[in-house]
């Protein structure tokens, strides 16, 4: 069986993860990256295609009729036309839940950064400000306890549930907004407008769909407290970046933390660039070594299950 891996560099850019496990399934061709113009040629006669963010369009599928399986190094699958794949008998399988702990960890790194202001105080100490303090404790930058704050979690899949559980462990009041009301949810479930208006922190853990695209817009931001913090580790398209930039500049909300943007890599002309109260990390939530090792295990397990005739994590 011939296997084409189209963007291995997005999984291991420093050699810390090996693709050797994939050789169990056949002849593997590894491409560090693949441009849209190269996609069909790189797939060629492959039966199995593995990718992270490469677009697998109907045109690519038609040009590569040998493809029977598309496996994703990701939970999101908006880069694959799953309807077209189903029409052509191509199975599409994602890697669900591999990054739950890592994304939840980054989410709370953001929250603790904002409320404890560790970066700001480290900077002050490095500048010598504590050395010149007349008192033993130097605290000109306000800090806050997160206990008692309202955490609004948008999306209640594996990551959303974990973030909610950690928030509750910190003593936060947790409210949930989700498309489908979960059974036996221990938290208050509410609509998005109410979640936004009540939140001290609102964090997004939902897929990018036609319904969620641009859901963070000027109208929603206008409902939020001026002290509120917005976090997005889901997909960049959930946020209208120009609206968020305006809200931060105008003081509509106090801060935003983003691990994803509408265009990635980050565009030099993103309206969010350089805004002091907007912290941007370069899509790293999923990147811990343990997380990527788990990802490889899931991808291999998906292929093994598909070959056996009992596919798992199939999204089409």
CA distances, 187 to each of 71, 97, 118, 126, 154 (Å): 35, 21, 30, 42, 12
Q: Same structural domain for residues 243 and 300? A: no
Helix 118-126 and helix 100-116, axial crossing angle in degrees, nearest 10: 60
Q: Same structural domain for residues 119 and 82? A: no
Q: What is the predicted pLDDT for the residue at 78?
A: 87
Assigned domain for 215 exists:
yes
Q: Same structural domain for residues 93 and 114? A: no
| Residues 15-69 pLDDT 10s | 999 999 999 999 999 999 999 999 999 999 999 999 999 999 999 999 999 999 9
Assigned domain for 313 exists:
no
Q: Rounded to 5 degrees, what are φ and ψ at 209?
A: -135, 180
C-alpha span between 212 and 32 (Å, rounded): 31
* Domain CATH for 22: 3.40.50.720
Q: Same structural domain for residues 54 and 196? A: no
Assigned domain for 316 exists:
no
Q: Same structural domain for residues 47 and 78? A: yes
| Residues 140-169 pLDDT 10s | 999 999 999 999 999 999 999 999 999 999
Q: What is the predicted pLDDT for the residue at 193?
A: 98
Assigned domain for 22 exists:
yes
Average pLDDT, the chain: 97
Burial call 5-15: b when 16+ CB within 10 Å, e when fewer: bbbbebbeeee
Assigned domain for 266 exists:
yes
C-alpha span between 16 and 290 (Å, rounded): 11
124 class by beta-carbon count within 10 Å (0-12 exposed, 13-18 middle, 19+ buried): middle
pLDDT cut 70: percent of the chain above it: 100
Average pLDDT over residues 57-84: 96
Give the largest Cα separation in the chain, rounded: 75
Q: Same structural domain for residues 88 and 179? A: no
Q: Is residue 269 very low, low, confident or very high in pLDDT (cuts 50, 70, 90)? A: very high
Assigned domain for 62 exists:
yes
Average pLDDT over residues 279-307: 97
C-alpha span between 180 and 192 (Å, rounded): 13
When divided into structural domains, the chain yields a total of 2
Assigned domain for 312 exists:
no
Q: What is the predicted pLDDT for the residue at 96?
A: 86
Average pLDDT over residues 245-269: 97
**Domain range enclosing 249:** 100-280
Assigned domain for 315 exists:
no
Among all residues, which ones are annotated catalytic? 235, 264, 283
Q: Same structural domain for residues 28 and 136? A: no
Q: What is the predicted pLDDT for the residue at 219?
A: 98
Average pLDDT over residues 123-146: 98
Q: Same structural domain for residues 129 and 91? A: no
- Check pLDDT > 90 for residue 247: yes
Q: Is residue 181 very low, low, confident or very high in pLDDT (cuts 50, 70, 90)? A: confident
Q: Same structural domain for residues 35 and 151? A: no
Whether the link from the prior residue into 147 is cis, omega within 30° of 0, is: no
Average pLDDT over residues 91-101: 95
Average pLDDT over residues 253-258: 98
Average pLDDT over residues 260-274: 96
Q: Same structural domain for residues 146 and 243? A: yes
pLDDT cut 90: percent of the chain above it: 96
- Check pLDDT > 90 for residue 265: yes
Q: Check residue 22 and report its DSSP letter.
A: G
């Amino acid at each position: 069986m011939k296997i084409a891996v189209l963007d291995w560099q997005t999984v291991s850019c420093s050699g810390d993860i090996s693709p050797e496990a994939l050789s169990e399934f056949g002849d593997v061709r590894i491409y560090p990256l693949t441009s849209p113009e190269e996609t069909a040629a790189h797939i060629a006669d492959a039966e199995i295609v593995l990718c992270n963010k490469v677009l697998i369009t109907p045109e690519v599928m038609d040009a590569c009729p040998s493809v029977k399986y598309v496996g994703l190094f990701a939970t999101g699958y908006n880069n694959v036309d799953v309807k077209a794949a189903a029409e052509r008998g191509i199975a599409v399988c994602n890697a669900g839940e591999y990054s739950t702990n890592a994304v939840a960890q980054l989410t709370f790194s953001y929250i603790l950064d904002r409320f404890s202001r560790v970066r700001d105080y480290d900077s002050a100490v490095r500048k010598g400000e504590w050395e010149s303090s007349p008192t033993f404790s130097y605290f000109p930058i306000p800090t806050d306890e997160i206990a008692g704050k309202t955490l609004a979690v948008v999306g209640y899949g594996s990551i959303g549930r974990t973030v909610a559980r950690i928030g509750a462990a910190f003593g936060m009041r947790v409210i949930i907004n989700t498309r489908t009301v979960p059974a036996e949810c221990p938290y208050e479930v509410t609509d998005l407008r109410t979640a936004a208006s009540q939140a001290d922190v609102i964090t997004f853990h939902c897929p990018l769909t036609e319904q969620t695209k641009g859901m963070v817009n000027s109208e929603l931001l206008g409902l939020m407290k001026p002290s509120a913090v917005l976090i997005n580790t889901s997909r960049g398209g959930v946020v209208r970046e120009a609206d968020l930039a305006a809200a931060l500049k105008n003081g509509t909300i106090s801060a935003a933390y983003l691990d994803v943007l509408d265009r990635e890599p980050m565009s030099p002309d993103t309206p969010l660039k350089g805004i002091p109260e907007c912290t941007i990390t370069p899509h790293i939530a999923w990147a811990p070594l343990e997380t990527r090792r788990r990802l490889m295990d899931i991808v291999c397990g998906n292929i093994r299950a598909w070959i056996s005739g009992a596919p798992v994590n199939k999204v089409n």
